[in-house]
Amino acid sequence: MNTMDVVDYKIEGSEMQYVEIELDPMEAAVAEAGVLMYMEDGIRMETIFGDGSRQNSGFIDSLMSAGKRLLTGATLFMTVFQNQGSGKRRVAFAAPFPGKIVPIHLANLGGELIAQKDSFLCAAKGVSIGIAFQRRLGVGFFGGEGFIMQRLQGDGLAFVHAGGTLLERDLAPGELLRIDTGCVVAFTPTIDFDIEYVGNIKSAVFGGEGIFFATLRGPGRIWLQSLPFSRLADRIIAAAPRAGGRSREEGSVLGGLGQLFEDR
């Protein structure tokens, strides 16, 4: 069994959050590349293949772990932050865009969580970050956020990020929710995840909500986000002239005339 580090933490901020993790001597946290905010003196940073959950794994095992991460769209490498000082030290990781950081105790969920591939932020060292293939072909072809999701395993603490406002909800056995595919953040393995056609051509073409819904059926716990990053990016591009969008001069008397002078 993997050895899990037990860490203390606090989450700061409202819309743009970061999580500060307190490490005892020789304790460590593992994080996605590019999310570090700061670390105190005495913490050593090391880039590794895979997630570092297997203490005595060889090169081939590490390469297999890294390859699985590559399938989810992540990089081959993760970063381990270990406290090699004599006292407690702190390291902080920041959310990549507006939303909420969610602390999840895997031990309270049976030791496993299925997460959308871009939602994982960081975890106590020892948590395994692997892949979860969706067995139904409909999810693979039409799932919107991808056929492959991340599987977090262990009994430690993991942190995932949700865009916008977070909804955490328990579904009763047989209870069904239809959800925009991009709004799924994570769910427990007991949830039945599938894809469903919206129902009629007019709604699919003119409704603006896409052709397919994600369906989540209980029992189990789900986490949803109100603002998927893909939706935020689409709005930014649509309002950015240099990216092919159309400028929106809300509240401006000059309107497009102001942009004309700005471009000169």
Q: What is the pLDDT of residue 222?
A: 97
* pLDDT at position 48: 81
pLDDT, residue 135, reads 52
pLDDT at 253: 47
Cα-Cα-Cα-Cα torsion 135, 139, 145, 148, nearest 10 degrees, comes to: 10
DSSP letters for 87-120:
S-EEEEEE-SSSEEEEEEEGGGGTSEEEE-TTTE
**Cβ count near 205 (within 10 Å):** 10
Q: What is the pLDDT of residue 240?
A: 72
Spell out a b/e string for 31-65, using b for 16 or more CB atoms within 10 Å of the CB, else e.
bbeebbeebeebbeeeeebbbbbeeeeeeeebeeb
- The predicted structure's pLDDT at residue 133: 65
Backbone angles phi, psi at 39, to 5 degrees: -145, 145
Residue type, 168: E
**Which residues neighbour 215 within 8 Å (Cβ) at sequence distance 6 or greater?**
176, 177, 178, 179, 192, 193, 194, 195, 196
Mean pLDDT per segment of 10 residues, for the chain of length 264 residues?
Answer: 71 93 94 92 87 54 54 68 94 94 94 90 89 58 58 92 94 94 92 78 52 87 90 75 58 49 50
Contacts of 141 (CB under 8 A, 6+ apart): 147
The model's pLDDT over 86-107, given as tens digits with 9 standing for 90+, comes to: 999 999 999 988 999 999 999 9
